[in-house]
């Protein structure tokens, strides 16, 4: 079954639906294919390396970050289904120009996740989150995007790996599609993904251990004691996808140097938290190094706010939470 057929089957489950969401998602898939093509030819089309600029995150912008951002912004701008967008690569809100119709959704995205891995041909990804735009006149503002993760109507990611996969949820199961490059269609390959309740791998950047709070250090010591295997790609989408299929836990906790960790709430933590819960897993955020709370319940305070993220199989996340609630 193609993604197009799957989307129309899903739409038929909601007789009152207008088709706007399906059309929005179809535009998103076009952007994903454009980025997939660039990622798969990166070494041949001088798109590797850095642009020399730094983004709002204070991070060096890679050429593929910029290309991916361009692909999503230009593909999504004129479709008439969005009231606005927010991108990891853009400081403020991306409003819809007056000459284009506006729609009822907000799109937030990390156009290229895992930028440090682009030049060495390790899997990278795109992460996206869709919210309802508040019913109001006039251009959207930052506050319109600051909705808790529970408000998401859709979340997904594209993994540009050994094959290009698109995984998404609208809260009714998590479904995976693999791009068949010979026909340019995403084909249903992983219907109704369920994350194993317990996994045997943990993912964390051990290079930060000198800055870890004692609860992180104690938890990691425990998982090592238990013989849990270490797997860390350095691309959130790749680490998350492995845990989603095989079970396991990923941590990017806050530490003494970066109290809120590194990952962004609105377009990294929240979309993946929505997906993992829809697949039967769990996601918590222990912002001040303790008092773990459900990621989806966090009230956002900024477009690019960072949060600590502990996400994956329920049993593993629950065990981790017990160290953060001490
Ligand atoms: P991005 O490339 O969008 O900035 O995201 C990179 C993130 C995420 O993909 C990954 O989990 C994390 O950075 C790795 O960070 P470290 O290199 O500090 O481990
Ligand atoms: Mn990212
Ligand atoms: Mn990014």
Long-range contacts of 67-74, Cβ-Cβ distance < 8 Å, separation of 24 or more: 67/35, 67/38, 67/112, 68/35, 68/38, 68/111, 68/112, 68/126, 69/111, 69/112, 71/31, 71/34, 71/35, 71/38, 71/111, 72/28, 72/31, 72/35, 72/107, 72/109, 72/111, 72/126
Which of 287, 318, 279, 320 shows the shortest CA–CA distance to 305? 287
Distance CA 72, CA 237 (A): 17
Residue with tokens 């204070």: 58
Pocket test for ligand 1, best of 235, 251, 257, 258 (most atoms within 8 A of CB): 235
Give the per-residue pLDDT at 48.
Answer: 78
Domain ranges in the chain? 3-190, 201-324
The third-level CATH classification (topology) of the domain covering 201-324 is D-Maltodextrin-Binding Protein; domain 2 (3.40.190)
Give the per-residue pLDDT at 42.
Answer: 75
The CATH H-level (homologous superfamily) assignment of domain 3-190 is Fructose-1,6-Bisphosphatase, subunit A, domain 1 (3.30.540.10)
Compute, in angstroms, the gap from residue 225 CA to the centroid of ligand 1: 27
Identify the nearest ligand to the CA of 235 by its number. 1
Residue 174 burial by Cβ neighbours in a 10 Å radius (0-12, 13-18, 19+):
buried
Contact between residue 56 and residue 92 where contact means Cβ atoms under 8 Å apart: no
Distance CA 168, CA 86 (A): 19
Determine the atom of ligand 1 nearest the C-alpha atom of 263: 7
pLDDT digit string, tens, across residues 236-291: 999 999 999 999 999 999 999 999 999 999 999 999 999 999 999 999 998 666 78
Distance CA 258, CA 173 (A): 34
Determine the atom of ligand 1 nearest the C-alpha atom of 113: 3
Residues 235-274 as b or e (16 or more Cβ within 10 Å = b): bbbbbbbbbbbebbbbbbbbbeeeebbbbbbbbbbbbbbb
Determine the atom of ligand 1 nearest the C-alpha atom of 117: 2
Q: Do domains 3-190 and 201-324 have the same CATH topology?
A: no
Angle between helices 20-40 and 3-12 (to 10 degrees): 160
Tens-of-pLDDT digits for all 326 residues of the chain?
999 999 999 998 888 888 899 999 999 999 999 999 999 887 777 777 788 888 888 888 778 999 999 999 999 999 999 999 999 999 999 999 999 999 999 999 999 999 889 889 999 999 999 999 999 878 999 999 999 999 999 999 999 999 999 999 999 999 999 999 999 999 999 999 999 999 999 999 999 999 999 999 999 999 999 999 999 999 999 999 999 999 999 999 999 999 999 999 999 999 999 999 999 999 999 866 678 899 999 999 999 999 999 999 999 999 999 998 86
Contact between residue 144 and residue 256 where contact means Cβ atoms under 8 Å apart: no
Give the per-residue pLDDT at 116.
Answer: 86
Give the per-residue pLDDT at 281.
Answer: 98
Q: Which residues line ligand 1 (CB under 6 A)?
A: 59, 88, 110, 113-116, 205, 234-236, 252, 262
Give the per-residue pLDDT at 325.
Answer: 82
Compute, in angstroms, the gap from residue 114 CA to the centroid of ligand 3: 6
At residue 193, what are phi and psi to the nearest 5 degrees? -65, 130
Give the per-residue pLDDT at 46.
Answer: 72
């Amino acid at each position: 079954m193609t993604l197009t057929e799957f989307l129309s089957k899903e739409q038929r489950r909601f007789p009152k639906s207008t088709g706007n969401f399906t059309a929005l998602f179809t535009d998103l898939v076009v952007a994903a294919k454009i980025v997939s093509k660039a990622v798969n030819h990166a070494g041949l089309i001088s798109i590797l390396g850095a642009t020399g600029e730094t983004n709002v995150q204070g991070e060096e912008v890679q050429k593929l970050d910029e290309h991916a951002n361009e692909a999503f912004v230009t593909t999504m701008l004129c479709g008439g289904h969005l009231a606005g967008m927010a991108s990891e690569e853009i400081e403020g809100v991306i409003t819809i120009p007056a000459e284009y119709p506006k729609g009822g959704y907000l799109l937030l995205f990390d156009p290229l996740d895992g930028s440090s891995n682009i030049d060495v041909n390790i899997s990278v990804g795109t992460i996206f989150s869709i919210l309802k735009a508040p019913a109001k006149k006039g251009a959207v503002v930052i506050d319109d995007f600051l909705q808790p993760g529970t408000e998401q109507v859709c979340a997904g990611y594209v993994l540009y790996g050994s094959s290009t996969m698109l995984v998404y949820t609208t809260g009714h199961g998590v479904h995976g599609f693999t791009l068949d490059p010979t026909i340019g269609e995403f084909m249903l390959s992983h219907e109704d993904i369920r994350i194993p309740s317990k996994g045997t791998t943990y993912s964390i950047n051990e290079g930060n251990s000198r800055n870890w709070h004692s609860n992180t250090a104690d938890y990691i010591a425990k998982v090592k004691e238990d013989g849990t295997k270490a797997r860390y790609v350095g691309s959130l989408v790749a680490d998350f996808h492995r845990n989603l299929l095989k079970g396991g836990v990923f941590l990017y906790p806050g530490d003494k140097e970066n109290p809120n960790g590194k990952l962004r709430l609105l377009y990294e933590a929240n979309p993946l938290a929505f997906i993992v819960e829809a697949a039967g897993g769990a996601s918590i955020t222990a912002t001040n190094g303790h008092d773990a709370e459900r990621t989806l319940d966090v009230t956002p305070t900024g477009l690019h706010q960072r949060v600590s993220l502990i996400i994956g199989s329920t049993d593993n996340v629950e065990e981790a939470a017990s160290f953060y609630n001490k």
